Amino acid sequence: MPAVPSRRRVPSYGFLSAIKGNLEALTVGLKYFLNPNRSTLHYPREYIKLRPGYRGYIVLNKAKCIMCESCARICPAAAMKMVRFQAPDPKRPGKMKLYKYPVINYQRCIFCGLCVDVCPTEALRHVPAHDVVYMNLAEMELGLEAFQQEPRSPAEEEGGIPVRYIFDPEKGLVKVRVSEGGGEQ
Ligand code: SF4
Ligand code: SF4
């Protein structure tokens, strides 16, 4: 049976009711604006200091890589692929050797961490960074050199203040500064 459109009129709340609603919204905004414990993050003057073990960007340690391809094979998003090239073989002077190393495309990566988990030599690792800036999509496809560099938060580079959110049973979420040693202040 086809759906019958409702003929009931949408109730009108009137001019005064609209003003009252707007004043209420402004009051709530003002309350949180004046509240010293408000949890808004003033990025990039402040940035969230991620904890070690955070599943953020991935970095390759080429010296540990045994070129097994497990990372590229397991990637469910086709974000990791192997690059192949010929270079002199240090063990056989005058001979060339085929090398293959993984590279990553952050346009596709879903940060599942499977590539890091499957790597048998810990050549891949997560770093606690997630607010990396790229100027265009092409920059998100890292080459072998870029994949070995540890990305840094632009806010950290600009001297932003590291903060964390902690839960206070009385106040709810509270933003605290993080000291050099990693503890909360
Ligand atoms: S984190 Fe997941 S999606 Fe990203 S490259 Fe590794 S396996 Fe692929
Ligand atoms: S799984 Fe690890 S050792 Fe194997 S190719 Fe990838 S980075 Fe290299």
pLDDT of residue 180: 61
pLDDT of residue 137: 94
**What letters, b where the CB count within 10 A reaches 16 and e where it falls short, cover 4-32?**
eeeeeeeeeeeeeeeeeeeeeeeeeeeee
For 185, other C-beta atoms within 10 Å of its C-beta total 8
More confident residue, 44 or 148: 148
For 37, other C-beta atoms within 10 Å of its C-beta total 11
| Ligand 2 lining (C-beta closer than 6 Å) | 65-71, 102, 118-119, 121, 123-124
What topology does CATH give the domain 58-157?
A: Alpha-Beta Plaits (3.30.70)
Whether residue 147 has pLDDT greater than 70: yes
Helix (H) or strand (E) holding 156: helix 154-157
Q: Tell me: the pLDDT tens digits for 163-178?
A: 999 888 988 888 899 9
Taking the C-alpha atoms of residue 81 and residue 62, their distance in angstroms, rounded to an integer, is: 14
Position of tokens 């952050």? 106
Q: What's the gap between Cα 122 and its chain centre?
A: 21
pLDDT of residue 184: 63
158 C-alpha vs ligand 1 centroid, how far in Å? 29
Considering the chain, what percentage of its residues have pLDDT values greater than 90?
A: 57
Q: Is 111 in the pocket of ligand 1 (CB under 6 A)?
A: yes
* Torsion from C-alpha of 141, 144, 147, 148, nearest 10 degrees: -170
pLDDT of residue 181: 56
Q: Tell me: the pLDDT tens digits for 10-39?
A: 666 788 888 999 999 999 889 878 876 667
Q: Tell me: the pLDDT tens digits for 30-78?
A: 987 887 666 788 899 999 988 888 999 999 999 999 999 999 999 999 9
Pocket residue to mutate for ligand 1, from 54, 71, 75, 147, most atoms within 8 A of Cβ: 75
Strands 46-48 and 161-168: what pairing?
Answer: parallel
Taking the C-alpha atoms of residue 76 and residue 84, their distance in angstroms, rounded to an integer, is: 21
**Domains of the chain by residue range:** 58-157
More confident residue, 38 or 117: 117
Task: Determine the Cα angle at 37 with ends 24 and 44, to 5°.
Answer: 100
pLDDT of residue 185: 61
Whether residue 8 has pLDDT greater than 80: no
pLDDT of residue 68: 97
Please report which ligand is nearest the Cα atom of 75: 1
pLDDT of residue 183: 66
Mean pLDDT value across residues 112-140: 94
Please give the structure tokens belonging to residue 137.
């999509």
Tell which residue, 104, 99, 77, 70, has the closest CA to residue 86: 99
More confident residue, 82 or 157: 82
Confidence of residue 139 (pLDDT cuts 50, 70, 90): very high
Q: By three-state DSSP, how is residue 125 classified? A: strand
Whether residue 179 has pLDDT greater than 90: no
81 C-alpha vs ligand 1 centroid, how far in Å? 10
